[in-house]
Structure 1
């Protein structure tokens, strides 16, 4: 390892290290073999085994022998004394151990590791002061052997990953030689002394665990990075060839964030829903006529997103696109985000548009994004009031997650609360179910729903039947909605005049549309009153999201969502699945 330790000082290390190492090994091997034959030729077996000073007794002139021993010792010590401080300084530069940072600085003029020289000298002096080098010789030998073994194993691992950066300059290199070298090192360690071998392995394991725990912000280009890449690719390809099953379904969320620093609470909520699953932070750079190339703009924004994700330790990936409108950009993200069919988003998650009344055009685009997501066969989750939750402390055991299960959507409205409950912040909460009465008997409907929850293995603290859902809303709520002036005949007529009907679609009349809008308005106003009455203190609320059809005016649709959540100061999720089953009663 002497050549590798001073590789930074060699003019051409790729050729000098192999040539010097092989030449040194060859000369040393011939010398040792020749001396072994010579000793055996002139001595008895008993003398070779028991006489520790047999070489001195054989020598013609003893001073010459001791001079050779001193010369060999000094040569070896100089090789170690030149290489070890450089390795020590390199380790200290990586700041793995704060107390060693002082030794990571070299001399200003030429970078010589003077401080490391002094440290190595003190360590060597301490070993000599023991007075019996045989006491530590075995452990030192083991540490050398395990170092050689790891070098061989690293060579094999680099060959296994087939990384383009691994290009050995040694002509006769083969991965099998590296494996043999690693196995031989381990074998020799055990043969020398299995106790010190175990100590050396324990030291290396402790160092590995310490470095893994510290997770230093350095990039060594280690073989572990290449191995992770290879394993990730193999797992992804294997996952793609495995048919999707409802029992292994997990949320893979494309979360529209816009400016990441302004959506931290929304991103945090997305993390809670996708623990150990896929979270994509989608961002649309709206630029009808960008000043620079869209590719350049997208690259800059993607690099900024990746840096932000790493800095804030968000377990997510960034997906950035440039488009003339938000809707065009979201369509691009829905089509291109993820990998294959196995790792593509199955849920589009967005924040709630609070200022929907101020910009009718953007509200229309927002509602169209919901329609596009359903057309793309992905679920939709709108999250409002994510910033109202305290992410610094978990919810108490008295808190509840309220689920308004008013229609069968494949189970998404029920499974998302379960995933939220698994997080440390919501682990102490209980789930309450609110459902409509389907049939004449309220108690029978409750028992049937309780049986379904048990089959789905959903633990609930309460099951409540909404017997007053069909009642007329409170006059105060009606007056609030009337002030928005969204149900006037003139406005409805204007919407109908601009409505485009698809092929085979029957036009709707103004009276029919007025009845349609009025009935849905009464429903949402009443449901909003029930939610405010029952769930004002809930930790989180889940409500089904109706798909906006072509007869729904965008601002009217947003007003209905506002009616559901205007009196709520807790995180509330509007959920709509793509009608695929995500829950099963199978074990």
Structure 2
């Protein structure tokens, strides 16, 4: 009881309001220590044995029982500590720099390998998946955004990546990308690299000059990764160790946006590089990426072309 009261007090749980006038976290901690010492003083062997049984039962229930609706005190402690240290997190020193990635994604099925690659590159830092819903009807798109938020969260659990999701609703893809970049992160944890897929001019040329579809759900949008004219296979698929897919993804039911224009793509790059001044990575060819497997330990390489955009250009 003393331990539970101590954890609730240091976790600042708003629903914990003790009526004891002399209660504080010091008295709860003192009561916990005294109770443990008294238990060991009476019979240390029985005390250690029952303590081991208690830990075993706790771990067994924690890892094997289905989730329950009652609150977990650990969530309160995690929330309190995260908020505390986020407020203390300042601008990081260049010595401890790490890539904090914001990846713009439209179709998680086709961009699965790029998502996994960026997850491997983040090295314990911030990783955000950004998506823009392009529409002029904000109120009508809010349910779609909430549905996609839940589907993307399930996709993260399915893919076993450590990332957050940021979905924006905007009448134009340019404004949606700006909003995502400026609002992503919290406190000192903000993305320093924006990753976009390479623009595919071949697929852009295959598009008809006039949209013949009258469907209201066929909205104009963006494809942050190289679009393809082939229809996506909606059959079940699952990602295995050999990079094959054989199960349905949680995001398969989400509406994907159309292909953006070349002007919009260049405008986004211009905003990111010159106005927002964030590092930009253009990804190409990741659909052919082969991830290392347990059977094949040979080294693989990728091409990286760094371009310094902030250098001053002087004329002779």
Normalising by structure 1, report the TM-score.
Answer: 0.40
Q: Is the 8 A contact 2:110 2:287 kept in 1?
A: no
More RCO (CA 8 Å, sep 6+): 2
Q: Which whole-Å CA distance do the structure 2 matches of 1:323 and 1:255 have between them?
A: 18
Q: Which whole-Å CA distance do the structure 2 matches of 1:393 and 1:294 have between them?
A: 41
Aligned position for 1:110: none
CA drift of 1:400 comes to 3.9
CA drift of 1:226 comes to 0.6
Aligned position for 1:344: 190
1:103-160 CA distance string (max 9 Å, x none): xxxxxxxxxxxxxxxxxxxxxxxxxxxxxxxxxxxxxxxxxxxxxxxx3211111111
Identify if the C-alpha distance between structure 1 residues 179 and 397 changes in structure 2 by more than 3 Å, giving closer, same or farther: closer
1:331-350 CA distance string (max 9 Å, x none): 1111111113x211101112
Aligned position for 2:108: 260
Q: Is the 8 A contact 2:99 2:123 kept in 1?
A: no
Whether 1:247 aligns to 2:95 is yes
Bigger radius of gyration among the two: 1
Which ranges of structure 2 fall in alignment gaps of 5 or more residues? 208-258, 312-316
| DSSP-derived class of the 1:201 partner | helix
Q: Which whole-Å CA distance do the structure 2 matches of 1:173 and 1:300 have between them?
A: 48
Q: Which whole-Å CA distance do the structure 1 matches of 2:310 and 2:50 have between them?
A: 58
| DSSP-derived class of the 2:131 partner | strand
2:282 to 368, 378, 382: 382
1:325 to 164, 172, 194: 172
1:366 to 260, 265, 290: 265
Q: Which whole-Å CA distance do the structure 1 matches of 2:308 and 2:97 have between them?
A: 13
- The range that moved more, 196-205 or 214-223, is 214-223
Identify if the C-alpha distance between structure 1 residues 187 and 579 changes in structure 2 by more than 3 Å, giving closer, same or farther: farther
Q: Is the 8 A contact 2:98 2:123 kept in 1?
A: no
Q: Which whole-Å CA distance do the structure 2 matches of 1:244 and 1:320 have between them?
A: 27
2:54 to 189, 193, 204: 204
Whether 1:174 aligns to 2:23 is yes
CA drift of 1:398 comes to 4.2
Aligned position for 1:195: 45
Q: Which whole-Å CA distance do the structure 1 matches of 2:308 and 2:191 have between them?
A: 13
2:123 to 275, 283, 303: 275
Whether 1:542 aligns to 2:309 is no
1:422-454 CA distance string (max 9 Å, x none): xxxxxxxxxxxxxxxxxxxxxxxxxxxxxxxxx
Q: Is the 8 A contact 1:152 1:179 kept in 2?
A: yes
1:299 to 122, 146, 150: 146
CA drift of 1:219 comes to 5.1
| DSSP-derived class of the 2:191 partner | coil
Whether 1:160 aligns to 2:6 is no
| DSSP-derived class of the 2:303 partner | strand
Q: Which whole-Å CA distance do the structure 2 matches of 1:256 and 1:157 have between them?
A: 40
Identify if the C-alpha distance between structure 1 residues 211 and 351 changes in structure 2 by more than 3 Å, giving closer, same or farther: farther
Q: Which whole-Å CA distance do the structure 2 matches of 1:333 and 1:185 have between them?
A: 52
Which ranges of structure 1 fall in alignment gaps of 5 or more residues? 1-150, 402-539, 545-575, 581-587
Q: Residues 61-72 of structure 1: matches in 2 within 5 Å?
A: none
| DSSP-derived class of the 2:305 partner | strand
Q: Which whole-Å CA distance do the structure 2 matches of 1:578 and 1:216 have between them?
A: 52
Q: Which whole-Å CA distance do the structure 1 matches of 2:47 and 2:100 have between them?
A: 47
Q: Residues 74-85 of structure 1: matches in 2 within 5 Å?
A: none
Aligned position for 2:227: none
| DSSP-derived class of the 2:92 partner | coil
Identify if the C-alpha distance between structure 1 residues 353 and 334 changes in structure 2 by more than 3 Å, giving closer, same or farther: same
Q: Which whole-Å CA distance do the structure 2 matches of 1:285 and 1:357 have between them?
A: 23
Aligned position for 1:391: 291
Structure 1 or 2: larger helix share?
1
Whether 1:353 aligns to 2:199 is yes
Aligned position for 2:246: none
Cα RMSD between the aligned structures? 2.8
| DSSP-derived class of the 1:283 partner | strand
| DSSP-derived class of the 2:261 partner | helix
Identify if the C-alpha distance between structure 1 residues 396 and 311 changes in structure 2 by more than 3 Å, giving closer, same or farther: closer
Q: Which whole-Å CA distance do the structure 2 matches of 1:309 and 1:357 have between them?
A: 33
1:164-201 CA distance string (max 9 Å, x none): 23244x55572354334322320221111112222222
CA drift of 1:209 comes to 4.4
| DSSP-derived class of the 1:304 partner | helix
Q: When the two structures are aligned, how many residues end up with a matched partner?
A: 256
Q: Is the 8 A contact 1:297 1:322 kept in 2?
A: no
CA drift of 1:277 comes to 0.9
Whether 1:238 aligns to 2:137 is no
